[in-house]
Amino acid sequence: MIAKIVTGASFGGCTAYAYGKDQAEVISHDGIIPDDPKIAAKCFEIQSQLNPRISKPVGHIAISFKPEDKPRLTNDFMVQVAKEYMEKMGIKDTQYVIVRHHNTPNPHCHLIFNRVDNNGKRISDSNWLKRNVRVCKELKQKYGLTFGEGKSQTRTEKLRPNERTRYEMANDVKSALKASTSWKSFSTNLKSYDIKAEIKFRSGTTIPQGISFTRDGTTFKGSSLDRSLSFSRIDKTLTGGKNIDTAAQSQEPSVHESRSYEQDHSLVTDLSMLAADLAIGLLGSEQPKKSEEQDPAPRKKRGLRL
């Protein structure tokens, strides 16, 4: 179990996101009319006017569980855990809605609440990061929920902000990878963690060289997150390494190389399309290089963004 806390100013945007996923399901609420995201947002907005000095009245917490716990996570049990989490975090006497999503292997729900409580007082976010880590650990121990492995055991509240971000991203990319069986499913699972991936290529070629991951404007190379998250190791996990082998060993021009390098890459917009191109050998050989006299300007590395 992990929980990610965000505050914001737009109830409309938050409810639209929570309600907008496939099979989104309201499993608990209080103080709002939950049937429509716009009406729910309006209910939140009206109460937030009790204390207009609070510039970010939106509280949004994504609570996610390990796939191993899915058989136990009925709606009632998920609500029970979420409510106990709220209580321990000091989120009391306020409007909220809990929306469950079914679009990833990790059972998870989105808790939206009003940081202006029913009496017009501000719900404090003081020491939320430390409390969040402690509360999640307490609930996992109490209910026998699955603990993560490796870096997820690190006490992130004691790390510097950049290091904490790196550890959290490493855990999330590992979780997405663990639940994936192909590049396409890996692409889908990364999106559930709001993570974008970019494939790097050897200069002047279409041979994959590395991978990086970005969330909220912060980017890390896969290998800097964890040695197991380099492109070659991820590809080995997902495909047995056939894409690296194909790219490195192929010497004959592909029939697809009649298209230009630029055209090829304009067609590849995410990892799922990359996986398709790799499967047909599009990235299987180098493109001819121009001489220094023809093109003195250095080539830039190109990447594929998810």
pTM above 0.75, yes or no: no
The identity of residue 148, as a single letter, is G
**Closest-CA residue to 37 (of 19, 57, 59):** 19
Q: Which CATH number fits domain 2-147: 2.40.110.20, 2.40.50.100, 3.30.930.30, 3.40.50.920?
A: 3.30.930.30
Q: Would you kindly state where each structural domain of the chain is located, as residue ranges? A: 2-147, 185-305
pLDDT by residue, tens only, the chain of 306 residues: 999 998 999 999 999 999 998 889 999 999 999 999 999 999 999 999 999 999 999 999 999 999 889 999 999 999 999 999 999 999 999 999 999 999 888 899 999 999 999 999 999 988 888 899 899 999 999 999 887 554 444 444 444 566 778 888 888 898 889 888 888 888 888 888 889 888 888 887 767 888 999 988 889 999 888 888 999 889 888 888 766 655 555 434 443 333 333 333 333 345 545 655 554 444 433 344 343 334 444 444 455 555
Query: Which token pair is 248?
Result: 């490195």
